[in-house]
Amino acid sequence: MTFRASADPHWLRGLEAFRAGRFFEAHEEWERLWKGASGEDRRFLHGLIQLAAALVHLERGRTAPAARLLRLSREKLAPFRDGFGGLALGRLWDLIEAAPDGEPEALDAGALARALSPS
């Protein structure tokens, strides 16, 4: 699968921010890109945006919205668990799945940040 936005500055800045643990910034960059995306690109970006937002809520101690966003993120990212657009997503998927439903505080934000890596 080809990710058409892989060279877009918003994608690249969001990826850099996510990998550095700046989840709010990643969310904002990817949302700009998501608004004009379609098809699989749109679904993939939406899943990452929801994951980043879940991590922001966790940082702020809001577990209920984090749990809801994590569940939505799982649904969106499930088709991409084996990778998408040159990204290896297996480790990211494993970390998301390791958090029991309704327990987003079990997520390891640092490990998630490092798991979004090139294939």
User: What is the pLDDT confidence band of residue 109, given thresholds at 50, 70 and 90?
Assistant: confident
**DSSP label of 105:** G
Residue 119, pLDDT > 90, answer no
Q: What is the pLDDT of residues 58-105, one digit of tens each?
A: 999 999 999 999 999 999 999 998 888 778 888 888 888 888 777 888
Beta strands in the chain (DSSP E): 87-88, 117-118
Element (H, E) at 88: strand 87-88
Which position has the higher pLDDT, 51 or 1?
A: 51
- Tokens for 87, please give them: 């990204």
User: What is the pLDDT confidence band of residue 16, given thresholds at 50, 70 and 90?
Assistant: very high
Domains of the chain, each with CATH number or no CATH: 9-118 (1.10.3450.10)
For 57, half-sphere exposure in the C-beta direction (CA atoms, 13 angstrom radius) is 19
For 56, half-sphere exposure in the C-beta direction (CA atoms, 13 angstrom radius) is 16
Say what the pLDDT of residue 116 is: 79
Residue 1, pLDDT > 50, answer no
